[in-house]
Structure 1
Amino acid sequence: MKKSGKGNLHVVEEIYNMIPAFTDVFSEDTFYVFVVIFVSCTFMVAFILSRFITLKPVD
């Protein structure tokens, strides 16, 4: 039973090592650009969806 636990931990560690670290993906400047683009896209999607979705009160 202990061997299975160590095997599972090994798999989790291997997957963790495959995922790049935050600093590997973003520098400070690219992070700010990503945030601005993400927030802008979120507002655009919310605006577009608000044109098609109408909430009605339940009687």
Structure 2
Amino acid sequence: MTKSTKGNLHVVEEIYNQIPAFTDVFSEDTFYIFVAIFVSCTIMVAFVLSKFVTIKPVE
């Protein structure tokens, strides 16, 4: 490995160590709550956008 590659790998490892693990962020209950809220918000956004965006067929 070259010196540049080792340096880049070190930077990637440092960034990876700064990001919390999935289990540090969510417990099982909070994950399900997050998914329920995310799905609800996605459905609401799709509903609101469907009122303002119309798709016209190409002729």
Q: TM-score range by the shorter chain?
A: over 0.9
- The Cα RMSD (Å) is 1.0
Q: How does 1:17-56 map to 2 (within 5 A)?
A: 17-56=17-56
Identity percentage of aligned residues? 81
Query: Which runs of structure 1 show a deviation greater than 3 angstroms over 4 or more consecutive aligned residues?
Result: none
Structure 2: tracts of 5 or more residues without a match:
none
Q: How many residues align?
A: 59
The secondary structure found in structure 2 opposite 1:6 is helix
Q: Which amino acid aligns with 1:25?
A: V
TM-score (norm 2): 0.96
- Any idea what the Cα deviations from partners look like across 1:4-25, whole Å, max 9, x if unmatched? 1100000000000000000000
